[in-house]
Structures are given as C-alpha cells and as structure tokens.
Structure 1
Amino acid sequence: MDITYKSAGVDVDEGQRAVKLMKDHVKSTFNSNVLADLGGFGGLFSLNINDYKEPVLVSGTDGVGTKLKLAFMMDKHDTIGQDCVAMCVNDILCQGGKPLFFLDYIATGKLVGEKIAQIVGGIAEGCKLAGSALIGGETAEMPGLYKEDEYDLAGFAVGIVDKPNIITGKNIEAGDIILALPSSGIHSNGYSLVRKLIFDILDMKTTDYVEEFGETLGEVLLTPTKIYVKPILSLIKDINVKGICHITGGGFYENIPRILPENVDAKIDIKSWQIPPIFKFIQQKGNISYKEMFSTFNMGVGMAIVVSQEDAQRSMEILKASGEDVKEIGEIVKGNKQVIL
C-alpha cells in the first residue's frame, strides 16, 4: 500500500481551499501600505515614517487560551479571532503603539476550510476595528497533536510610536487620576476557572438561558474581547497620558503595578463602576473571594488609564466623544507599587 501525505492525515488540497475561502476576509483589511498579495512567503508592509521624528516599532503576541473550548463546545468560530487580535493590539496600545499589521497562526488536528475561514473572518473583523492590516499567517494541520475538531490560535501585532511619546508610567505621581474603559465581559482570561465552575461543578450548559444576563450562558461567555485602539489613539493625540494598563490575566493586582513607579500605589474605588452580572454570578456561585476575583478577572474594566488631575475632565470628554462609558475609578497615592482595593 502506497502512503501519501493525505493518508497520513494532512490534506494539502483542503489547505488550498481554505486559503481561497479566507481570501476576501484578509483582503478586506488591506490598505495602501500592504505590498504583497495573499500567498507569499512573507507579508510586505511599507512603513510610512514621515509623521514620526524617532519611529519605534512596538510588538506584541498572544493567544486566546481556554476560551477556545467555548468555541468548540458551541461550534461557533466567527468571533474568537477578534479575541486574538484584541489581546495583541490592546497590549501594544499600552505603550502608545498604533497597530500597523497583524499575523495569525492556526494549528488544528483536521483542517476544514469553512471553519478556518470563519476563524480568519473574526481575525479580519478585529483587524478592521484596530485599523490594522492582516498581512500574513499560517494554518497548520497536525493530526495526532490536536483533536480533529479542535485548534489553537495565536497572533502577532506590530505597531509604531514616536520615541518621545512612548508611554511608560515613569511619570505617574501621587494625585494622578485613574480612568477606566469598560470591558465587554470576561474577555480572554480566567476561562480555566470559569469552565471548572460552570461546567464541572454547576453542571450547566452553554445553551442555558440565565435571567440576569438576558442571554444564554454560551453567548455571554463567548462575547469577544473589546478593542480599544480608536478611543485611546484619539486620547493620546490630545492628552499627555501617563500610563495605560490592559487588564488581562492576573487582573488588577498583577497588571496595574506593571505601570507604577516604585513610590506610589493605585487606590481603586470598586463602587465607582458597575461590575457586570457575569462576574457577580461567578463570584456568588463559586463562593470566590473579592481578592481572587480581582486577581483573575477584569471585573468590567478593560483598560485603566492614568492622567494628571488637570487632564482628567478633558480626558473623559474625549473618551465619551469616542463612545466610551468612561469612569473615574481611583487615584494614585504614595506607596510602594501596590493596588489598594
């Protein structure tokens, strides 16, 4: 018996069909800086640096984590790509980076063209929300390493910032104000705890309708991560933003100190914003402490932004004009790089 790549589990023809199915999604993100068509060995992007004195590239990479399990359970794959883009572009935003382009990596046990096209459609949607071009990617079929109906997803973003305008947090001082942009839900962190509680302990299903959510459990859990590029770029164009923090894995306690100087604390008023119902549900059903919740989840805050007291009101006006329900959630006080809740 002759053995072929296809008989070993890798269907090259299906891979080519997947490329054809995703082509329109990818091209919808192209702009005048993209020089290569889909299918080249590398993505080519023309770097326009005329608006920058000392251009610096800023990059970020991330995946979606076990939130992918929800996509598998629901057989819904058209939004998970936005999560991947968001986790990368929101990170580079924290240093003032304007996203330029994005690349994705999808690995699966069995390649199905329509499913890959749905995933890439979500990636393309995220790129459009971020003003970023999707200039390349890799789809790998790996039988024996992944289950046939499962896949992993990761991405890589590159942005640009002028060196004098890099946001580091080094000038944060006591008296500064902490603003918050709301999350769209759990985003892409804490899903191992969520799945353990909801599906193993509570024995719930993604199709269960939950009154306090106004939608099914699956719908609220699979809500894609919010992308903050446009409102934040609008803000830093007019305001001297001192620090930006993406609230991801590790919640408040791990992420906020990353932008604080050694001599200050971030004092947060947890009554200053409405914690979304999904977090209250998780906390009550799991009997989880406040500290554990704020160490694991974003608790309704996707981005924390530090500005001077003098700039706080104007910052809120700019963010509200961008459609953001911005809240003042705390202040910077003297301390030793801690978060006080």
Structure 2
Amino acid sequence: MSLSYEASGVRYDQLDAFKRACQQAARTTAGLLRDHGYAEPASTRGESAYLIEAADHFLAHVEEGLGTKNLVADAVYAETGKCFYREIAIDTVATIVNDLITCGALPISVAMHAAVGDSGWFADAVRTNALVAGFAEGCRAAGAVWGGGETPTLGGVVEPSAIVLAGSAIGKIQPKSHRITGNVAEGDAILFFASSGVQTNGLSLCRKLAAQLPQGYSTPIGHGDPRTYGEALLAPSVIYVAFVRECQRRGLPLNYVAHVTGHGWRKLMRLEEPFVYEITDPRPAPALFQFMMEAGPIDRREAYATFNMGIGFAAFVAPDQAEEALALAQATGYDAWRAGTVRKQGNRKAVVVPAFGLEFGGETLQVR
C-alpha cells in the first residue's frame, strides 16, 4: 500500500481551511495600520510574507516553523552519536528567510523561538552549542542580524525530550519598485533552483517511512548516493536570499518567485491569477526521493504534491532575461536551470509536467 502525507497525519484541506479563516479575520484589522502611519498593500494576503506599506518603502514580516525535522536529528543522534543540530538551525533560518524574500524583501532581523518540554534539554552542550552556532551561521548567510528570541518551557505540551523550533523575521523593500507582485505573463521563463534534499517539508511522511525500514535511518539510500537515509534527510536547507539580492542590485526584475515547500510542486501556482505552468525540463528526482518513492512506496503524484523533489525555489522572469538571470544565479552559487514556460489559457490554472505524466489543477492548492 502506497504511503501518503495524509496517512502520516497531515491534511492540507484542514490546514488550508484554517489559514483561509485566519486571513479573513485578519483583514478586519488592517485599518489599524493607519494609526501607525502605514497601510496594507493590495494582494499581500495569501502570499508567503505579509507587507506593510510606508511612503517610500515596505516592511515585511514572516513567522515560520521548522516542523518535525529535529525528531529525525534526535533519532540519528541517539543511534550514531552524530549531532546534526547545526544543520537543523540553518534549516530553521532558511524556512523563514526563504519565505520573506518571495515578496522582494531582504531580511533585516531574525528571531528564534525554541520551546522545550523540559529545560534539561539545554543541558546537552554538544547539541545546544550546535544549535546556537548553526542559527548564527544561517543568519549570516541570509545577511540578517539575529535579533533575539524566546525559550519557553512547556511541560505537558511538548515532550520532555523534544524541542519545537520556529522563528520570525522582518525585512524591508526599498525602493518600493523592488516589490515582487506577480507580474507574470504568457511566455515567461520558469527557472528552477536545486534544493539540498527534503529541506523542511514532508518530514512527517519521511519519519513514517523510517519506522517501517528494518535499518531505520541507517538504511543506505543507494542510487549512487553513499549516505544513509538519516544523513540525506538532515542536509541543511539552501538559503536563496543572495539571488534576490543580486537581482535587485543588477536591476533585473523578478516577475514572481516561489519557495517550494508545503504542497510540493503545486506551490508553483501560488499566484492568484490563473496560468498554466508547463515544466518541460524537470530533471530526474535526486537519489533521496527515488529511494523514498521505492521504499515507501510513495507514488509519483503523491511525491510531487508533497515534497520539493529537488527544487527548493523557482523564479519567473521575462524570456529575454532568462539567460541573464541564470548567469546571475550560477554566479551567486546556485544550481539553477530553465525548467519551463508560463502559458496563458483563459481561466485554466495548473502545473503540468508532461515528461512525468503529471498535472495538478488549481483546485489542488487552496491557500487564499
């Protein structure tokens, strides 16, 4: 029987319904910004970052959580003595700032939220020092100050052996013309940026798979990759801030960008306006995902609807600027390529991957 994200306890229909209810209620508070000299710009609700508009700039705010990836790190630490909390900390920063940049904001300050079930969690110096060092490393990579945080002890809510990692960030768009608004058009090029692996989404399903493997996280993933399942899962996320920053410095407009996390490749059609996103050069799935699809088994449609499948970020640019954008991406250290084209087909909204026989209609992504 094929594994699914829903079977691991995650149902997007329930999560997204709650998010939509929150957005509706939140809109009723927008007028309060006037008392502070700000306003809510059009079309900010439902995007990955919330914007506040001033006369000559925008401020951006994001709140994000790591999810359950640290439970994988805990299991590998217990089994092998290898500590991956540096990587876990980088993941936490990455999932925050990669959302922030989708509107064109560059991160200024990042805060950590580290909730534990028992304060004794912090007594493990190896683990704690790795977490601290990794969070600072992630902030430096994002070009942001580590501004502080919160460390509540939540006995009865969090397991004594666990930590719940999350955080927030503020950023700024100045000049206001750097805002990424979704100015997508027929023929735009779709650029894909490689991920490091699973990054920070789908870990509940990854953990469910580990539980059915005789060797658990110590299982070799094969497919030409020498790592174990646990090691591959715990590769730190890529931080994509440098690409957006360089585009702004060079005056290269980004029509839209997407942080490919929850909802897998469906996230490519997050923009409200209907387009068809045709992926003609998808690349084969990396070894980790091939292993999971075989070992689960996890069918292809479920995999691409849940995981990033090797794609952590996508940018949509005018076709005559695609080569320049790719050169810039590669010059700033990213593995990027031209993966497809935006099509306008009336009110049709979909992601189509002909080489894999996949199509996700707009009804499969309801985040607004």
Q: Is the TM value for this pair above 0.5?
A: yes
Which residue of structure 2 lines up, in the alignment, with residue 61 of structure 1? 63
- C-alpha distance in structure 2 between counterparts of 1:297 and 1:234, whole Å: 27
- C-alpha distance in structure 1 between counterparts of 2:116 and 2:129, whole Å: 13
1:50-129 alignment runs, 5 A limit: 54-75=56-77, 76=83, 77-111=85-119, 112-113=122-123, 114=125, 115-129=127-141
- C-alpha distance in structure 2 between counterparts of 1:331 and 1:236, whole Å: 23
Which residue of structure 2 lines up, in the alignment, with residue 248 of structure 1? 261
Please identify, of 116-125 and 221-230, the stretch whose mean Cα deviation from structure 2 is larger. Answer: 116-125
| Offset of residue 294 of structure 1 | 1.1
Please identify, of 61-70 and 199-208, the stretch whose mean Cα deviation from structure 2 is larger. Answer: 199-208
- C-alpha distance in structure 2 between counterparts of 1:210 and 1:59, whole Å: 38
1:260–1:337 Cα contact (<8 Å) kept = no
- C-alpha distance in structure 2 between counterparts of 1:330 and 1:338, whole Å: 13
- SS of the residue 2:269 aligns to: helix
- C-alpha distance in structure 2 between counterparts of 1:278 and 1:70, whole Å: 15
The runs of at least 4 consecutive aligned structure 1 residues that moved more than 6 Å come to none
Task: Tell me the alpha carbon deviations over residues 64-118 of structure 1, each in whole angstroms, 9 at most, x when there is no partner.
Answer: 1111211211232222111111011001111111010000111112222423333
| Offset of residue 164 of structure 1 | 2.3
1:95–1:166 Cα contact (<8 Å) kept = yes
| Offset of residue 324 of structure 1 | 1.7
Overall identity of the aligned pairs, in %: 32
Structure of higher CA gyration radius: 1
- SS of the residue 2:71 aligns to: helix
Query: Which of these residues, 269, 285, 294, is aligned with residue 275 of structure 1?
Result: 285
| Offset of residue 282 of structure 1 | 1.0
Structure 1 residues 288 and 207 mapped into 2: Cα distance closer, same or farther (>3 Å)?
Answer: closer
Task: Tell me the alpha carbon deviations over residues 229-281 of structure 1, each in whole angstroms, 9 at most, x when there is no partner.
Answer: 1122112332111000000010111x11112522x211112x44242111111
2:307 is aligned with 1:297: yes
- SS of the residue 1:280 aligns to: helix
2:278–2:351 Cα contact (<8 Å) kept = yes
- C-alpha distance in structure 2 between counterparts of 1:244 and 1:260, whole Å: 13
Query: Which of these residues, 294, 299, 303, is aligned with residue 284 of structure 1?
Result: 294
Let me know the Cα RMSD of the aligned residues.
1.7
Alignment TM-score, normalising by the size of structure 1: 0.79
Amino acid at match of 1:314: E
Amino acid at match of 1:189: N
1:190–1:296 Cα contact (<8 Å) kept = yes
- C-alpha distance in structure 2 between counterparts of 1:234 and 1:300, whole Å: 23
| Offset of residue 204 of structure 1 | 3.0
The alignment covers a number of residue pairs equal to 285
| Offset of residue 218 of structure 1 | 1.4
2:212 is aligned with 1:201: yes
